[in-house]
Amino acid sequence: MSVFSSKPNPSWSYLGYEVYSVSSNFMNKSAEVEDRPVVLLVHGFGASTDHWRYNIPVLSKTHEVHAIDLLGFGRSDKPSELDYGGELWKDQIVAYVKERIGKPTVIVGNSLGGYAALAAGAALESDSAGVVLLNAAGYFSDEKVSSEPKELNKKIRKMVLSGISRDLLFKWLIYPLIQRLIFENLRRPDVIRKTLNQVYIDSTNVDDYLIESIRRPSLEPGAFQVFQKVFQARGLKGKPIDELFQELQSPLLLLWGNSDPWLRNAKAKQEKFRSFAQQASLKVTEVLLNAGHCPHDEVPDLVNKEVLNWLKSH
């Protein structure tokens, strides 16, 4: 299935690079509906606007809906010189809302896109009409920012004798080679399917369309360099979640796929989100769903229902 109820937007660039986005005008043109906030959907790592295939048609019945490909992903440009991370994507989203939407906006984000959505929502201040987080990534002030894969690094270093020349050999030859091998393996269709089957509790929607929507961008020039930079980055290069909660001025909806295999210590993580949001005196709503890491695509009917109910009540 494709995002049949949306269409590509006119060309728009950020920092001089082309950004792909789609939009779908809501079907009800009444004045009451036109006063409602716009909804902007932000995908997670390796995904794109295509990942909102089951959400855009439903949400657009009552709201103007946009979805955007973050730089480095989907059909957006993948320049090797950018410093990929939360700050870049936050600024990209903020610019899009101000330049292309121009109205109070509810930003919905999954995983890595959840962190970017929260950071953008905080930066937009009164222009943020709300933030919806679906199994959001991120860290808190009392946690160490994750670094590049240390265990793999250590194992390989043991194979290389100590010495400056060998350190350089590792840095400039061996490590990039390993990254390339990992990248080539990860973009194989059978590996993509296997990975998705691990993170979707119900694999019904793990279909050829979804697999191709992830594989296709990985074949574009610059995709490997983006992977390298994200792979090596220390965390999301942005503020911790608790600080962003303190800056956020709009309501917050936390939607959790409660069986997410990628969310370590899931209950503790959920409790942290809840606790810090309450400490920040946010209007927070939390819903647990029987799903994995991408509930919007795995159980779209439930996610659409919860988002629409929340939008209506706020």
pLDDT at residue 62 greater than cutoff 50:
yes
pLDDT at residue 307 greater than cutoff 80:
yes
SS (H, E, C) 50-93: HHHCCCHHHHCCCCCEEEECCCCCCCCCCCCCCCCCHHHHHHHH
7-145+236-313: in CATH 3.40.50.1820: yes
pLDDT at residue 203 greater than cutoff 80:
yes
Provide the CA 306 distance to its chain's centre, in angstroms.
Answer: 19
Tens of pLDDT, residue by residue over 83-126, are 999 999 999 999 999 999 999 999 999 999 999 999 999 999 99
pLDDT at residue 210 greater than cutoff 90:
yes
**Confidence bin at 246 (pLDDT 50/70/90):** very high
Of residues 185 and 285, which shows the higher confidence score?
285
* Residue 70, token pair as written in the block: 């973050």
Q: Domain-by-domain residue ranges, the chain?
A: 7-145+236-313, 150-232
Provide the CA 35 distance to its chain's centre, in angstroms.
Answer: 27
Which pLDDT score, from 0 to 100, does residue 3 have?
46
DSSP 16: T
What proportion of the chain, given as a percentage, has pLDDT over 90? 72
Least confident residue range of 17-26, 180-189, 199-208 = 180-189
- Measured N-to-C along each axis, helices 175-186 and 223-232 cross at an angle, to the nearest 10 degrees, of 120
Which pLDDT score, from 0 to 100, does residue 229 have?
84
DSSP 28: -
Helix extents (H) in the chain = 31-34, 56-59, 86-96, 112-124, 150-159, 164-169, 175-186, 189-199, 208-218, 223-232, 241-247, 266-279, 295-298, 300-313
Q: Are 237 and 86 in contact (CB under 8 A)?
A: yes
Which pLDDT score, from 0 to 100, does residue 228 have?
84
Handedness of CA 24, 25, 26, 27 (dihedral sign): negative
DSSP 21: E
Bridge partners, residue 286, by sequence: 254
